Chain A
Amino acid sequence: MITDLLKESLKESRGYSELRYHKRDTFNVSVKDGKIDVLNSGIIEGACARTLIKGSWGFSSTTLLEKDKINQILKDSTSLAEASKPRKKRAVKLASAKPYVDKYETPMKTDPRKSGKEELVRLVIDIDKDVRGFSKKIASDTVTFNIVDDELAFLSSEGAEISQRIVRCYGNVMVIAREEGNIASAYESIGEESGLEVLKKTPLGNVGKTAAERASKLVSAKVAPGGLYHVILENRIVGLLAHEAIGHCAEADLVYSGSFLSDKIGKEVASERITLVDDGRFPGGFGTMKYDDEGVPTQRTVLIDEGVCRSFMHSRETAQHFDVSPTGNARAWNFEYDPIIRMRNTFIEASDYSLEELAEDIKEGFFLKGGLSGQADFNGEFMFGTQEAVKIENGEFTESLRGVTISGNAFEVLKNVDAIGEDFVMRTGMCGKEQVNFAGIGGPHLITKVLMGGMK
C-alpha cells in the first residue's frame, strides 16, 4: 500500500513534512464531424514531499514510487528548504489544523470504473450526429467527453492521513456554422464532480443543441456595439463574474500583495443584494473535495455577505498571517505542484426575479449569453468573453448579435447590480493561476452595467 510507504518515510521527517500521492486516470473521447478524433486513456502517477523547516518551504516530486525514491524526495524537500532559507525574507508559519484521519469518495450512482467505454463512445457519436443535423448551416463540430478519476493521499508529520477519490465527468460541444462567406462558432459545456449520471442530469446533447442553435443564429448576425450598457448576465456566465471580478482578489495571497479588497473586511464592496460564496463542498461542484491539499477540511466560505466583505480564502500559511482559521483553499493541480490558494466553487446566491421580470426594467441593453475566457487584475479590473448578445428594447428581447468581451471594475459592477434572478446554475470552469485547476462557477441571471468591447 502506497500510504504505508509514505507513512514509513514520514518517520524520517525533520520540521513539518507532507507527503502526497496522486494517481490520475483519464479517459477522453472526441468526435469531430462524425468521426472519432480522439480516443484516449492514460495514467499519470506520482508522489511529492513538502517540508517546512525554520520558516522555509522545500518541495520535490517523483514518478517513481519505490521506498528509496520516496525517502529521497523527502530528503530533497528538506535540503531545498534549508538551502533557500537565506534568500527568503519572510519566515513562514502555519495556522494550526487538526490532523484528520479520513477517507472520502465522490458520491456516485454510476462509477465510470465499472462501466464499459463502448457505450460512451456511442453516445458521443450520436450527439455529434444530432448536432450536425440541427441545421444545414453547420459546417463542423466537435463533441468531447472526459473522465478524470483522481486518487489522492495526504499524510503529514502531524499525523494526518487522508485518502480521497475525486471523480469528475465533463463534456463540451463546439460548433462552427457557415453561410455566404461568414463563419460563427459557439461552445457549451456540462460537468460535475460525479459519476456518469451527470449525463442523465444534464444531457450533453442539450448543450449541443444550444451551441448548434447559437452558431446557426449568429452566422449572419452583426457584432454587438461598444460602450457602457445595462446588461442581464445569463446564469451560465454569472459565475465568471463571481470568479474573475471578486474571486481572485479575495485569494489571501493576492490580498497580501495589495488587491483592491485588502482593506475591505467589514466594509461594503457590493450592492446589498450580493452574497458571494466560495464553497468547497457544493454537491457536484467541479471544485468540490472534502479536504484540500494541505489536509484542511473544505468549507463554505462567505466572501461577501449582503454586500459586505466578510472573508478571504486561505491556506494554512496565509491564515496564520491574517490570524484567522484556514478555509481549505490550498489546492495543487497534481503531484508535481505545491498547493496554492485556489477557488473551489464560487457563486453568487440566487434571489427571486424571473428572467422576464429582470428584462422589464431595461429600456436599452443586452442579455449576454455563453461564456469565453476571462482574466482579472488585482486592482479589480476584470474581463470575460461572451458569445451572444441579445438586444433588449423596452423590456423585450429582440435581435441576437455576436457577443463581445465585457469589462469593468469589480467594485462598480457589483454596486450596479440592480436585481438578481431566481434560476441558479453551477457550471464547470478551468482556472489558470500559475497551475491550472478545476473550479466550479455559478449564479443566477442578474442585472448590472458593463463596458462592452463591441464595434461601431
Chain B
Amino acid sequence: MSVKDLTKLAIKYCEKIGVDEAEAFAQNQHIVEVVLERAEIQSERVKTQRGIGIRVIKGKKLGFAYASTLSHATIEEACRNAKSLADVSVANPDWVSLPTPAKLPKPPNGIYDEETASMGGDEVLNIAMRTYDEAKAYDKRVDIDDGKFSLSSTEVAISNSHGVEAEEKNTLLEGFLICVAKEHGEASSMAFEYDVARSMRDFSPERIGRVAAEKALASLKPRSVQSFVGKVILDSDPASEILMYPIISGVNADNVQRGRSLWAGKLGEEVASEKLTVSDDGLFPKGIGSSSFDSEGVPCQKTPVITSGKLKSLLHNTFTANKEGKKSTGNAYRDGYNMLPLISISNVIVEAGDKKLEEMVSDVDKGVVVRRFSGNVRPESGEFSGIAKQANYIEKGEVKYPLKETMISGNAFQAMKDIIEIGSETRPTFLRAYVPPIMIDKVNIISK
C-alpha cells in the first residue's frame, strides 16, 4: 500500500470512531548510512523507517498517537489511542480547525532525484571513501577522526478529514567529516566540514575532505590575544547558528503570540541593519527544506521575513494563523511522523552581498574570523557565548594566526543591527538556512 492509501485508511477509520476532525501523516523513508570512526568504516546501515502519526480533535480537545508498524490493525490502534487521549485531554478554546483543501503548487524543482534515490550502500560508501581519501591526501599531518554520510529517500503523505490530500517524495544527501591536524605532538582543535544536497550532482565529497583538512591545518600553532571588543567575521555555519537561530525563533508566530519573542508587536519596524534581507522560501529550487506543501498539507510559499532590516512577516501554521484570522504561511513542520506539527522555517535565505570572504578579511583592521562555534545561543533573548574554534586573528586586513582558548560573546539581536558586511558566498547550513559569511561589530573576544 502506498503512504497515501495508509493516510486515507486512517482518516476513514477515525471518522467511524467518532471524532470531529482527524489528520494522518505517513512517512516512508529509506536510509543508507555509512559511519566512519577512527578513520575506519565503523558501520554501514540500511534502514527503512515507516510510520504514521494520527492527530484527532474532539470538542476542541487534542489527541495524537503514532505507530511504526503499518498494518491495518496497528493504524486502527493508533487512531483509537489518539481518540482516547483526546478524551482525557482538556479543550483548547483557541482551536479553530485543521486546514481545508487548497490548490498545491507543483513540487519545487530538484527536490527528488531518481538516480540519487537508487544509490545503495556501495555508492554511499564510495562517497565516504572519496571524502576520506581527499582529506588524507591533502597533507600528512591530517588525521581523520570521524564522519557520517547518509542518503535518505522519503515519501510523505497527508490526509485530513476536510479533504486535504497531499503526497510527495524527495531525496537528501548529507555528509560530514571531522579532521584533526597533528604536528610536533600538538593536536589542532577538531575541524568540521560538511555538505548537504538533494542530488549527487550537487554534492561534493572532495570539497568536504579538502576543506576539513584545510581548516584543521589552519588551526595548528594557535596563539592567544588579549581580550578586546571588535569585529568578527562569522563564516556561514556560525553565522547561521548565532544569527539565524534567534531570527527563526523570533518570527515564529507561536512565540510571538505567547510573548516569547522580542519581536512581538514589532511588525514593520526596523529590527536589523538595512543590509539584512531574509526570506523563508518553501519553493526554493533544490532547497533542502523545499516542498510543495507543509506538514499539515498547506501550500508552501515564499514569505519575506526581514526586508532591508524591517520585520515584514511572521511564520504561521494553521493554528497560529486561525488564532489571528490570517492565512497560514505554510510553515507547519514536523521532524518525523511521531511528532505533532510545530512551526519552523522551510528554507531560510539570507540575501547575499558582494564580497568574498577574503575581501571581507582585507577590510578588517583588527578582528577575528570564526569558522566553527562551539557554544550556546539563547534564542529568546539573543545572548550567545561560546568557544571560537577554527578562529583566526586578523590584523591590518590579513589573517595572522589561529586563536587558542578564545571565546566570543554578544547579543544576536544587537549584532543584527551591528552588521557591517554580508558576504557573497551563500551555502546551506544544517538549520536549513542558506547563509553567506556575515561580519558583525562590537563582539566580545575573550581569552585568559
Residues on A lying within 8 angstroms of B by beta carbon are 26, 32-33, 35-36, 38-46, 57-65, 76, 80, 83-84, 87-90, 116-118, 121, 125, 139-140, 176, 178, 181-185, 223, 226-228, 253, 256-258, 336-338, 340, 372-373, 375, 377-379, 381, 383-385, 402, 404-405, 407-409, 434, 451-456
Interface majority SS on B: helix, strand, loop or mixed?
strand
Q: How far is the CB of B181 from chain A (nearest CB, A)?
A: 11
Structural contact, B260 and A375, CB atoms closer than 8 A: no
Q: How far is the CB of B179 from chain A (nearest CB, A)?
A: 11
Any chain A CB within 8 A of the CB of B201? Answer: no
- With A35-B94, A456-B444 given, can you name 14 additional A-B contacts, CB distance below 8 Å? A41-B65, A42-B78, A43-B68, A43-B74, A87-B41, A140-B258, A176-B258, A183-B380, A184-B380, A257-B145, A336-B45, A405-B386, A405-B407, A451-B407
Structural contact, A58 and B41, CB atoms closer than 8 A: no
Structural contact, B375 and A405, CB atoms closer than 8 A: yes
Structural contact, A45 and B375, CB atoms closer than 8 A: no
Structural contact, A43 and B444, CB atoms closer than 8 A: no
Structural contact, A80 and B407, CB atoms closer than 8 A: no
Structural contact, B40 and A176, CB atoms closer than 8 A: no
Minimum CB distance partner of A61 in chain B: B47
Structural contact, A407 and B405, CB atoms closer than 8 A: yes
| Alpha-carbon gap, A455 to B381, bound state (A) | 14
Tell me which of A182, A256, A338 contacts B38 (CB under 8 A). A256
Contacting residues, chain A, for B51 (C-beta < 8 A): 44
User: Which stretch (B81-89, B203-211, B347-355, B425-433) binds chain A?
Assistant: B81-89
Contacting residues, chain A, for B97 (C-beta < 8 A): none
Structural contact, A40 and B407, CB atoms closer than 8 A: no
* Chain B 291-342 residues near chain A, CB threshold 8 A: 338, 340
* Chain B 387-445 residues near chain A, CB threshold 8 A: 387, 389, 405, 407-411, 444
Residue among A41, A185, A372 having the largest count of chain B Cβ atoms under 10 Å: A41
Minimum CB distance partner of B34 in chain A: A84
Tell me which of B65, B145, B182, B405 contacts A451 (CB under 8 A). B405
Structural contact, A381 and B189, CB atoms closer than 8 A: yes
Contacting residues, chain A, for B53 (C-beta < 8 A): 42
Contacting residues, chain A, for B381 (C-beta < 8 A): 182-185, 402
Structural contact, B46 and A76, CB atoms closer than 8 A: yes
| Alpha-carbon gap, A226 to B381, bound state (A) | 18
* Chain B 346-369 residues near chain A, CB threshold 8 A: none
Tell me which of A38, A59, A116 contacts B45 (CB under 8 A). A59
| Alpha-carbon gap, A76 to B45, bound state (A) | 10
Minimum CB distance partner of A117 in chain B: B88
Structural contact, A455 and B444, CB atoms closer than 8 A: yes
Pairs A–B under 8 Å by Cβ, sample size 6: A59-B45, A223-B409, A227-B227, A378-B190, A383-B374, A404-B383
Residue among B46, B143, B258, B374 having the largest count of chain A Cβ atoms under 10 Å: B374
| Alpha-carbon gap, A36 to B262, bound state (A) | 24
Minimum CB distance partner of A125 in chain B: B90
Structural contact, B229 and A456, CB atoms closer than 8 A: yes
Contacting residues, chain B, for A377 (C-beta < 8 A): 189-190, 374, 389
Tell me which of B69, B81, B90, B374 contacts A63 (CB under 8 A). B69
Structural contact, B65 and A84, CB atoms closer than 8 A: no
Contacting residues, chain A, for B380 (C-beta < 8 A): 176, 183-185
Q: How far is the CB of B215 from chain A (nearest CB, A)?
A: 13
Q: How far is the CB of B342 from chain A (nearest CB, A)?
A: 9
Contacting residues, chain A, for B163 (C-beta < 8 A): none
Contacting residues, chain B, for A336 (C-beta < 8 A): 45, 47, 49
Q: How far is the CB of B284 from chain A (nearest CB, A)?
A: 28
Q: How far is the CB of B89 from chain A (nearest CB, A)?
A: 5
Minimum CB distance partner of A181 in chain B: B262
Structural contact, A62 and B376, CB atoms closer than 8 A: no
| Alpha-carbon gap, A410 to B61, bound state (A) | 50
Minimum CB distance partner of B374 in chain A: A375
Q: What sequence of 0s and 1s flags, for each residue 58-95 of chain B, a beta carbon within 8 Å of any chain A beta carbon?
A: 00011111111100001000100100011011101010
| Alpha-carbon gap, A39 to B95, bound state (A) | 15
Minimum CB distance partner of B446 in chain A: A226
Contacting residues, chain B, for A83 (C-beta < 8 A): 121-122
Q: How far is the CB of B22 from chain A (nearest CB, A)?
A: 15
Contacting residues, chain B, for A183 (C-beta < 8 A): 260, 262, 380-381
Structural contact, B383 and A140, CB atoms closer than 8 A: no
* Chain B 18-74 residues near chain A, CB threshold 8 A: 35, 37-51, 53, 61-69, 74
Contacting residues, chain B, for A40 (C-beta < 8 A): 64-66, 85, 338, 340
Contacting residues, chain B, for A62 (C-beta < 8 A): 48
Tell me which of B40, B258, B376 contacts A89 (CB under 8 A). B40
Residue among B41, B88, B187, B338 having the largest count of chain A Cβ atoms under 10 Å: B88
| Alpha-carbon gap, A87 to B130, bound state (A) | 13
Minimum CB distance partner of A376 in chain B: B374
Contacting residues, chain A, for B146 (C-beta < 8 A): 257, 434
Any chain A CB within 8 A of the CB of B259? Answer: yes
Contacting residues, chain B, for A434 (C-beta < 8 A): 35, 37, 146, 148
| Alpha-carbon gap, A422 to B38, bound state (A) | 39
Structural contact, A80 and B121, CB atoms closer than 8 A: yes
Q: How far is the CB of A406 from chain B (nearest CB, A)?
A: 9
Structural contact, B409 and A36, CB atoms closer than 8 A: no
| Alpha-carbon gap, A41 to B260, bound state (A) | 27
Any chain A CB within 8 A of the CB of B127? Answer: no
Structural contact, A44 and B68, CB atoms closer than 8 A: yes
A42-B65 CB under 8 A given contacts A63-B50, A375-B374:
yes
Tell me which of A39, A42, A58, A228 contacts B62 (CB under 8 A). A39
Any chain A CB within 8 A of the CB of B106? Answer: no
A63-B407 CB under 8 A given contacts A35-B94, A42-B66, A80-B121:
no
Any chain A CB within 8 A of the CB of B385? Answer: yes
Q: How far is the CB of B197 from chain A (nearest CB, A)?
A: 21
Any chain A CB within 8 A of the CB of B378? Answer: yes
Contacting residues, chain A, for B94 (C-beta < 8 A): 35
Structural contact, B378 and A185, CB atoms closer than 8 A: yes
| Alpha-carbon gap, A226 to B446, bound state (A) | 6
Tell me which of A44, A60, A121, A253 contacts B46 (CB under 8 A). A60
Structural contact, B444 and A226, CB atoms closer than 8 A: yes
| Alpha-carbon gap, A140 to B260, bound state (A) | 7
Q: How far is the CB of A54 from chain B (nearest CB, A)?
A: 15
Structural contact, B187 and A379, CB atoms closer than 8 A: yes
Structural contact, B444 and A454, CB atoms closer than 8 A: yes
Any chain A CB within 8 A of the CB of B129? Answer: yes
Contacting residues, chain A, for B88 (C-beta < 8 A): 39, 116-118, 121
Any chain A CB within 8 A of the CB of B283? Answer: no
Q: How far is the CB of B341 from chain A (nearest CB, A)?
A: 11
| Alpha-carbon gap, A373 to B387, bound state (A) | 13
Structural contact, B85 and A39, CB atoms closer than 8 A: yes
Q: How far is the CB of B68 from chain A (nearest CB, A)?
A: 4
Contacting residues, chain A, for B259 (C-beta < 8 A): 139-140, 176, 178
Tell me which of A38, A90, A407 contacts B340 (CB under 8 A). A38
Contacting residues, chain A, for B340 (C-beta < 8 A): 38, 40
A258-B227 CB under 8 A given contacts A40-B65, A58-B44, A405-B376:
no
